[in-house]
């Protein structure tokens, strides 16, 4: 028993920074979202019974008096909530702070505030990382070759760095993808590569991938350099931050569109996604790359959480906003019991999705596969 305890303590000590990164990222991510709801609820005069960080048994609480908000810390740090009078049940109709006694606009502001706070936090941290360390870039360097694709048969080797495509200079993997992806006719491109101290040129045909509907050369960049930061001007940092925010914002909608149009199956979405366990694995791996990558992924996750919650799916903030819009149009609210049932069904569906994704996370970890592509 002593040996087992020593082994556990040794593992914790060795992986301490990774554990801290996971707990900080998850805990603060949810805290930020719920803080937005909490601050706006207080601002519009709603009755807030509890502001909790975490789930499960309570390990600490502070409450000024019985009528004041209870601030609690719970044992499971991956979550949190704000308990408002009348939000999920009729509550005390005589309480002026009841959620349902507020105007549509006041309720909408409280619902939106969580996502807005995630966006503010995410953008702020993207700017902080950008101004201090620079913007992220993935080098156009060959780490893995895809069997059957042109680069393998053209004699390209691991470690080769692509400097040019035809006459266009290439600074990173993203710039290379923009140049190659639109090529759908299978034509050759002239690649200028650096191999050690040599600079070589080689003609490589671009293969059109029918499934992904884009041109590909068939290689992967080094995972260890997924978070390479390059110092740029303040204007470029702001531009990159806005572009990143926009791309992350529309990404959940793109996935939903592909599901509806059957471009992707639910299984493919599940396999390409990550639940809490998979995200924890990703954060843990990123923590080994340094402090800046952890702050960067924290910023990205904040924006993704904000964007995901705006989807009008039952149980998410977006659906609650949708029901408020219906109330505005109909001039009367939807029956609370019916709305509650819709949210419960949506919540169950979300839980099932999380379970499926988590199962994939477990398989990935057992197979010793990284979530970082």
Q: Which helix (H) or strand (E) holds 200?
A: strand 198-205
C-alpha closest to that of 87 among 106, 66, 67: 106
> According to the model, what pLDDT value does residue 4 have?
52
For residue 181, give Cα distances in angstroms to 152, 175, 176, 253, 297. Answer: 18, 10, 8, 22, 26
C-alpha closest to that of 177 among 167, 190, 162: 162
CA distance 336 to 320: 12
Q: Over 90: is that where the pLDDT of 359 sits? A: no
Q: In this predicted model, what pLDDT tens digit does every residue of 46-84 receive, in sequence order?
A: 999 998 887 788 888 888 877 788 989 888 766 678 888
In whole numbers, what is the pLDDT of the chain averaged over residues?
83
The better pLDDT of the pair 156, 373 is held by 156
CA distance 340 to 260: 25
CA distance 72 to 51: 6
| Sign of the dihedral through C-alpha 113, 85, 309, 21 | positive
CA distance 167 to 113: 48
Q: In this predicted model, what pLDDT tens digit does every residue of 264-290 receive, in sequence order?
A: 666 666 666 677 777 877 888 888 888
> According to the model, what pLDDT value does residue 55 have?
76
As annotated, the active-site residues are 34
Which 3 state secondary structure label does DSSP give 112? helix
The better pLDDT of the pair 8, 314 is held by 314
Retrieve residue 16's tokens.
């301490």
Count of other CB atoms within 10 angstroms of residue 363: 11
Decide if 283 contacts 362 (C-beta within 8 A). no
The better pLDDT of the pair 88, 284 is held by 284
Q: Over 80: is that where the pLDDT of 3 sits? A: no
Could you tell me if residue 80 is left (phi over 0), alpha (psi between -120 and 50 degrees) or otherwise beta?
left
Q: Which residues contact 232 (CB under 8 A, 6 or more apart)?
A: 130, 134, 135, 240
For residue 326, give Cα distances in angstroms to 13, 41, 44, 321. Answer: 53, 22, 22, 9
Q: Over 60: is that where the pLDDT of 2 sits? A: no
Match 């978070």 to its residue by tokens. Answer: 227
Q: Over 90: is that where the pLDDT of 344 sits? A: no
The better pLDDT of the pair 28, 132 is held by 132
Q: Which helix (H) or strand (E) holds 339?
A: helix 336-366
For the chain, list the domains and their CATH numbers. Answer: 2-134+291-366 (no CATH), 139-225 (2.30.42.10)
Q: In this predicted model, what pLDDT tens digit does every residue of 213-222 receive, in sequence order?
A: 788 888 878 7
Q: Over 60: is that where the pLDDT of 11 sits? A: no
The better pLDDT of the pair 271, 184 is held by 184
| pLDDT band, very low/low/confident/very high, at 95 (cuts 50, 70, 90) | confident
């Amino acid at each position: 028993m002593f040996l087992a305890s020593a082994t556990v303590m040794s593992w914790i000590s060795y992986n301490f920074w990774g554990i801290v990164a996971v707990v900080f990222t998850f805990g603060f991510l949810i805290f930020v979202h719920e803080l937005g709801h909490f601050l706006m609820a207080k601002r519009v005069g709603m009755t807030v019974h509890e502001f909790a960080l975490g789930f499960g048994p309570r390990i600490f609480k502070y409450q000024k008096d019985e009528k004041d908000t209870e601030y609690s810390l719970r044992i499971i740090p991956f979550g949190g909530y704000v308990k408002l009078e009348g939000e999920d049940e009729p509550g005390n109709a005589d309480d002026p702070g009841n959620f349902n006694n507020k105007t549509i606009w006041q309720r909408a502001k409280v619902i939106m505030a969580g996502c807005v706070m995630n966006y503010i936090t995410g953008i702020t941290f993207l700017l902080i990382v950008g101004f201090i360390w620079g913007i992220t870039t993935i080098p156009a360097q060959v780490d893995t070759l895809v069997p059957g694709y042109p680069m393998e048969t053209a004699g390209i080797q691991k470690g080769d760095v692509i400097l040019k495509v035809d006459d266009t200079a290439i600074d990173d993997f993203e710039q290379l993808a923009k140049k190659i992806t639109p090529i759908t006719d299978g034509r050759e491109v002239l690649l200028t590569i650096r191999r050690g101290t040599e600079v070589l040129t080689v003609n490589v045909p671009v293969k059109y991938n029918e499934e992904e509907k884009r041109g590909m050369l068939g290689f992967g960049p080094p995972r260890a350099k997924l978070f390479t930061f390059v110092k740029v001007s303040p204007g470029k940092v702001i531009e990159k931050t806005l572009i990143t925010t926009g791309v992350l914002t529309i990404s959940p909608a793109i996935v939903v569109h592909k599901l509806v149009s059957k471009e992707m199956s639910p299984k493919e979405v599940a396999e390409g996604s990550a639940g809490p366990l998979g995200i924890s694995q990703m954060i843990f791996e990123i923590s080994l790359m340094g402090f800046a990558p952890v702050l960067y992924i924290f910023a990205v996750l904040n924006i993704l959480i904000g964007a995901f919650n705006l989807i009008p799916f039952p149980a998410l903030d977006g659906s609650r906003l949708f029901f408020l819009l219906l109330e505005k149009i109909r001039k009367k609210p939807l029956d609370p019991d019916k709305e509650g049932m819709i949210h419960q069904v949506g919540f169950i569906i979300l839980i099932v999705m999380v379970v499926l994704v988590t199962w994939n996370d477990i398989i990935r970890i057992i197979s010793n596969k990284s979530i970082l592509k």
